Amino acid sequence: MIAQESLGATMEHKITFSEKTEKDIKMIVDEFGFDSEEEFVEEAVAEKILELKKQIFFNITNQVGAALRSKRITVKQMLEEFEEARE
């Protein structure tokens, strides 16, 4: 059973791994001194979520950049508009 913290509450989820993945998890837990398989899986999932959130951010910024370039808006123009909006 994998425990997951969410806004102070613990939610339990059962996850089934392949035999190879289970062996790899046990090896990593032993090799790197994790307290438990659950601790390792929680950290691994949290890291993967962060990685994917970064990818979402980069995808959005690339789309915004492409839209601005297609409208021929320069960085200088953008910064000037941000400054005007802040005043």
pLDDT, tens only, 22-71: 999 999 999 999 999 999 999 999 999 999 999 999 999 999 989 988 99
First-residue to last-residue Cα distance in the chain: 54
Rounded CA-CA distance 52/63 in Å is 17
Whole-prediction pTM:
0.70
CA dihedral sign of residues 61, 65, 67, 68: positive
